Structure 1
Amino acid sequence: MPSVDYTQQGFTSIRVNIDKGVAIVTLCRSNQRNTFVEATVADIVKAYDLFDRDDCVRVVLMTAEQDSPAFCAGAELSKGWGSLFTPEVEEEGDTFHRDSGGIVTLAIFRCRKITMVAVNGHAVGVGITGLQLPCDIRFAWAGTKLAFPFVRRGIAPEAASSYLLPKLLGNSRALSLFLTGATVTPDSPLLSGLYHTILPNREDVFPAALALAKDLAENTSMTAVAVSKALVWRGYDNIEEQHVLDSRAIRVLATGGDANEGATAFMQRRPPKFSDAPGSLKQWMPWWREVAVVPRKAKL
């Protein structure tokens, strides 16, 4: 049983239910094409923080209602762009704010569990940048229409997409998508590699994603997942330092119960029963803030 009652959290733009270690997040503003509003921000930030801390949740899967006309049709613009930003505040002499799409991106990105999305409808703007790019694994319906329309609306890419999209696709394809604002489908060469699976039938997207989510929830170690995600996104930009970091990660994990259970289960030819929680890594993670990993000088 989950340690959190997700039906009592006051969510209005999403529904959350737990199925065998998988937290299913369903966007439920179908009559409004799941446009991005303040409630969306508040609900997703709260939910993903809870998922991160709930050891009964191993995988998070976001989707839209099957009959929704869109997965997410982008930002709700009836009140103008101003509603998409936090109020400006003063900090250390500078005035700044945060775009709400980026706040959602960071909430999903920082979740230490496996994050997945089943895109079963059209997605525009923040429907891609904030709800898809920060996820680990993406499924999509082949008929989905996708667009990054920012330059055609007089604004710049938001939701930290100017960081994530080039990292995921490379600068050339990211610029093609950003600067043309073209509408594409998941199988476009410009999106090559972004989606784990693209399915021809809309109704098959969520079941296929859920099947993988349940498999991962049952057969992966939460601590190994958290470390693997951090190594990819928080690593170094040269092979020597990354080698030191990889080595340290293996050593830290090897002292945990999951590593012993993984080896034992393999030898006994049975499914593993992993029980370590990400909280057990607090002595080491986040190393990018607390641990200085400096490689020894090579002997010439």
Structure 2
Amino acid sequence: MPTATIDLPASYEALELTHIKLSHYPVGAPAVTPVVLISLNRPEKNNAFTPQMADSLTQVFNLFHIDRRVKAVVLTGAGRMFCAGSDLEIGFGDGGGRAADFRDIGGRVALAMHRCHKPTIVALQGSAVGVGMTMTLPAAVRICHEKSKYGFVFTRRGLTIESCASYFLPRLVGFSKAMHLITTGGVYPPQNKYFGDLFSEVLPDAAQVLPRALELAQDVAENVSPLASSMSRALMWEGPRSPEEAHLLESRVFHHMVGQGDYKEGVGSFLEKRKARFETDPREDCPTDFPWWPETKISLEPSASKGTSSKL
């Protein structure tokens, strides 16, 4: 069965996107760089989340997933806040229609980030609440500002958590801490014990956050095998239920990796004391049984238009 093809852009900076901005890094590069920066771009609204922003983010993560030129992604916000949560002036509709036909827009973004083979590093240069926090949970790394505040405020707005947070948050901070964060809906500084190790680094100056995230992304892009990184993250997120099953799965994946060019290049560059040049593509060079977990279909089932027959 033929698959759809997507045209990759010569420059991500030339894409016309709503409520986000893309930049190559290093700055000024005319073509696509291994590190691409996404900026939530509604500073006048504190980068409040919108359906259009969700569409733009989903689109670019799907592009990064298939673009072998991109090795790492940095996500930040324009202005003083990272994201003030959903734009409540727009809201979420009136609850009409079938619940089975509803897909929360934050969840679409979280899944696109989670499924992307390229790691995301989030630079929370300012405060973030609600979906501004939940959409960052699938990222590989979160770096933040020590004087900003962060929180999962859904229960204070009469809402439940979304963006797949019920899956990611307890696994990142533990069930007890996640229960406290969600039950209280409180907003806290990043050093608060309830966040656990959610933030990899907490920096004293907001101006330090994005440069540090870009520095880390550049290091990953230059020195880490995209295939090894993607498969290692998948082993942790989509791992088996017991140590014995983990051993069998890890052994299969490890055996596959030993036969790949990145293993030979990684060892060779170490022995020859030079920088590695990794060439594998996670989409093309992954193990034959990838994904090794049963994938859940999230697409909506098509329905017939009113007035048309459902008979063939």
| TM-score w.r.t. length of structure 2 | 0.86
Aligned-residue offset at 1:159: 1.2
Q: Secondary structure at the match of 2:110?
A: helix
Amino acid in structure 1 at the alignment position of 2:46? R
**Matches of residues 119-134 of structure 1 in structure 2 within 5 Å?**
119-130=124-135, 132-134=136-138
Distance 2:146 2:91 in 1: 32
Partner of 2:302: none
Which has a greater percent of helix? 1
- 2:104 aligns with one of 93, 99, 106: 99
In 1, the alpha carbon distance for the partners of 2:142 and 2:116 equals: 16
Q: Say if 1:3 and 1:54, in contact at 8 Å, map to a contact too.
A: no
Matched, 1:58 2:71: yes
Shift, 1:209, TM fit:
1.1
Residue 281 of structure 1 aligns to a residue whose secondary structure is coil
Deviations 1:237-275 (A, max 9, x none): 200000001111111111111000011111111111111
Alignment of 1:1-300 (within 5 A): 4-19=10-25, 20-65=33-78, 68-82=79-93, 88=97, 95-130=100-135, 132-279=136-283, 280-281=285-286, 283-289=288-294
Q: Which moved more, 1:38-47 or 1:145-154?
A: 145-154
CA distance in 2, matches of 1:44, 1:88: 25
Q: Distance in 2 between matches of 1:170 and 1:11?
A: 36
CA shift for structure 1 position 141: 0.6
Using the size of structure 1 for normalisation, the TM-score is 0.89
The aligned length equals: 280
- Aligned CA-pair RMSD: 1.8
Identity rate, percent: 36
Gaps of 5+ in 1: 291-300
Task: Provide closer, same or farther for how the CA distance between residues 272 and 141 of structure 1 changes in structure 2, counting only shifts above 3 A.
Answer: same
Distance in 1 of aligned mates of 2:151 and 2:92: 18
Q: Structure 2: which 5+ runs fail to align?
A: 1-7, 26-32, 296-312
Letter of the structure 1 residue corresponding to residue 127 of structure 2? H
Task: Out of 226-235 and 18-27, give the one that drifted further.
Answer: 18-27
Tell me what 1:294 maps to.
none
C-alpha distance in 2 between matches for 1:211 and 1:21:
12
Measured against aligned partners, the alpha-carbon deviations of 1:145-173 in whole angstroms (never above 9, x if no partner) come to: 11211111111111111111101011100
Residues of 2 paired with 1:176 and 1:276: CA distance?
42
Greater than 4 Å deviation, 4+ residue runs: none
